[in-house]
Structure 1
Amino acid sequence: MATKAFASSADLGKKEQTLETLADGVYALTAEGDPNVGAIEAEDFLVCFEALATPVAAREWLAQLRARTGKPVRYLVLSHYHAVRVLGASAFDAEVVIAHDTTRALVAERGQQDWESEYGRMPRLFEQPESIPGLTWPTVTFSDSVTIDLGGDRGPLELRHLGRGHTEGDLVAWLPRQGILFAGDLVEAQAALYTGDAFHRDWSTSTLDNIAALGAETLVGGRGAVARGRAAVDAAIAQTRHFLEVMLREVGAVRERGGTLKEAFDATHAALADSYGGWPIFEHCLPFDVSRVWDELSGVERPVIWTAERDREVWDRLQNA
């Protein structure tokens, strides 16, 4: 069997970015399966959603945004703690960096290890890594919800924690007047899921139920194209749920018959590949996903910290065995 290049280390090609206007003053930047980011204009300030992996990468996004608006960034919202989402934060000069309470705790507990892990897995995303000044720390956190008044007739922006999912502390940004949801990595649209730090059973049930109940007309997932219209939004949520349910089913069946982690990986890969194998980061994610599902079904409540060394061990054990 040919050896597979580690994670996304061989994915070095530049991705085409697309800046879309979703409604008056609401923007999303997508990039062929790379992490998505967004921005919302208030009357006299901006709210930015996600920060990318380095300040250099973030400044490139901000340069595109500045072609649409010159308003200062008051709030930078971080959906969760993963390095590719947060380490570009210093470029925004935001007055407030806001995240869930648990996200701050996770940065303290495992932020450095996650940085080293993700840099090894996805080096292309870390444009000029020397520009990163250190870990990103939120300046304001919350437990359930926060509302930002956008002023004028723009309505509110609601930041909500809808349950455990991709991590323990995911949040979403919801514009009820416009029907637009920035879902972070809780939903992907035609992109594979990374679930190495996930709570699969909560995510596949109550958390996705809570997302669906918002009734969004437009959804920006963590990766993939913007879902426009209820049918596309429902399809993105259903795809996310199905991916999770298949992993739980296949890994659970192998565990119940006394099989091995490698057997669980092979069974899950076979069950998912026809539908999802051609989608961004599928091969990259699946070993880490299956490892976490196995742990969760084995009673390991909180995800084991991923390190650069553990990444390689799991990859070699499952993808290159």
Structure 2
Amino acid sequence: MTTGFASQGDMTEKTITFDEIGEGLWAFTAEGDPNSGVIIGDDSVMIVEAQATPRLAKKVIEKVREVTDKPISHVVLTHYHAVRVLGASAYGADQIIMSDRARAMVVERGREDWDSEFQRFPRLFQGHESIPGLTYPTTTFSDAMTVYLGKRRVDIRQIGRAHTAGDAVIHVPDENVMFTGDIVEDHSACYCGDGHFADWGRTLDRIKAYGTDAIAPGRGAALMGREAVSRAIESTRDFVQSTYAPAARVAMKGGTLKEAWTAVREVCDPKFKDYAIYEHCLPFNVSRAYDEARGIAHPRIWTAERDLDMWEQLRD
């Protein structure tokens, strides 16, 4: 096992793709790095997920300007993680939207999450010196809200806990397209360090019930067509279940975190070791699964210090 987190050594620049997944709807993807979405309305543009820094956000803006000159009026953040939100200032949007629960998590653990993620994944924080501070929304919602970009309706919903307690999805009815944040991934490991394993499958069921024609997942390629959507939902479900079940078996027997790590690897490595950020996510996923199985319902806050303490327990 390496002495540092797998992501600390990942300094390879990723190839950006920008795919139209419905009329005026685009997925900004980058080989397993965090995705963003673009929703073009009659008079303005909504961005889904801001990226980690203003410098990285400008790469999204460059792609937007290839397809429209309409102003960016809204930024929707599906959850609170630093790699998703800290670039929001670059867009100059009138509204930054989060769920109430996501905002509460910024208050509770936003600074700690920023420090932790910066330590884990330095490449994703290019231009970090330009981040003005924590990103707080200007607008929040409890369960659901609707935004009209001219005639184009955009529904923003909380349909269940999964990747975090504050996850939101964005559905554009006129094209039946959804932006799921990190609830759904494609050929990329789910980060479960702040997740809710017991709820994740039910939340996937609710996404599946929409019968969407395309999805922009949190990481991985745009999912075009119902077959691709279903495949990614089910592979995400398999990843989450395959992580939790072996860790829970160890926890129920009073085993150690290191034993849970070994048990999860035995199940997950043969199926998922080639997934993007798999090695990066694994220690955090095992730790959270082990905690949840022992009755710790509210994910513990990750700090830079806790990251290192956990890693010491798992190193050979």
Give the counterpart of 1:208 among 193, 204, 213.
204
Alpha-carbon displacement from aligned partner over 1:190-235 (angstroms, at most 9, x marks no partner): 100100001110112x211111111111111110011111111011
**Measured at CA, do residues 36 and 230 of structure 1 come closer, stay the same or move farther in structure 2, by a change above 3 Å?**
same
Provide the rounded CA distance (Å) in 1 between the counterparts of 2:4 and 2:14: 19
Partner of 1:198: 195
Picking from 257, 280, 292, the partner of 1:284 is 280
Is 1:74 the counterpart of 2:70 in the alignment?
no
State the alpha-carbon separation in 1 of the partners of residues 125 and 61 from structure 2. Answer: 16
Aligned residue type for 2:177: I
Query: Structure 1: how far apart are the matches of 2:93 and 2:307?
Result: 33
Matched-pair contact (CA < 8 Å) for 2:252–2:294: no
Query: Matched residues in 2 for 1:208 and 1:103: separation?
Result: 19
Counterpart mapping for 1:1-321 below 5 A: 2-152=1-151, 155-204=152-201, 206-318=202-314, 320-321=315-316
Structure 1: gaps spanning 5 or more residues: none
Residue 37 (structure 1) shift: 0.3
Does the 8 Å contact 2:46/2:73 carry over to 1?
yes
CA contact under 8 A between 2:252 and 2:293: conserved in structure 1? no
- 1:7 Cα deviation from its structure 2 partner: 3.5
What is the aligned residue count?
Answer: 316
Render the CA deviation track for 1:161-197: whole Å, top value 9, x for unaligned. Answer: 0111100100011112212110000000110010000
CA displacement 1:18-67 (0-9 Å, x = unmatched): 01111221111110000000110110011110000000110121012111
Structure 1 consecutive aligned stretches of length 4 or more whose deviation exceeds 6 Å: none
Decide whether aligned partners of structure 1 residues 305 and 7 sit closer, same or farther in structure 2, where only a CA change above 3 A counts.
farther
Deviation of the 1:76 alpha carbon: 0.4
Shift of 1:259: 1.6
Quick one: distance in 2 between partners of 1:280 and 1:113? Answer: 24
Q: Distance in 2 between matches of 1:168 and 1:4?
A: 31
- Checking the alignment, whether the CA contact within 8 Å between 1:99 and 1:138 is kept in structure 2 is yes
In structure 2, do the counterparts of structure 1 residues 214 and 272 end up closer, same or farther at CA, with 3 Å as the change threshold? Answer: same
Distance 1:231 1:52 in 2: 28
Residues 246-297 of structure 1 deviation map (CA, whole Å, 9 limit, x = unaligned): 1221011112222211111111011011111011111110110111111111
What TM-score do you get using the length of structure 2 for normalisation?
Answer: 0.98
User: 3-state DSSP class of the match of 1:141?
Assistant: strand
Identity %: 47
Q: Classify the secondary structure of the residue corresponding to 2:206.
A: helix
Letter in 2 for 1:163: G
Amino acid at match of 1:36: N
Gap runs ≥5 in structure 2: none
Q: 1:315 Cα shift?
A: 1.9
**Matched position secondary structure for 2:43:** coil
Structure 1 distance, partners of 2:68, 2:288, is 42
- Give the Cα separation in 2 of the matches to 1:103 and 1:258: 33
Per the normalisation by structure 1, the TM-score is: 0.96
Alpha-carbon distance in 1 for matches of 2:254, 2:137: 43
Corresponding residue SS for 1:8: helix
Shift in Å, 1:4: 4.5
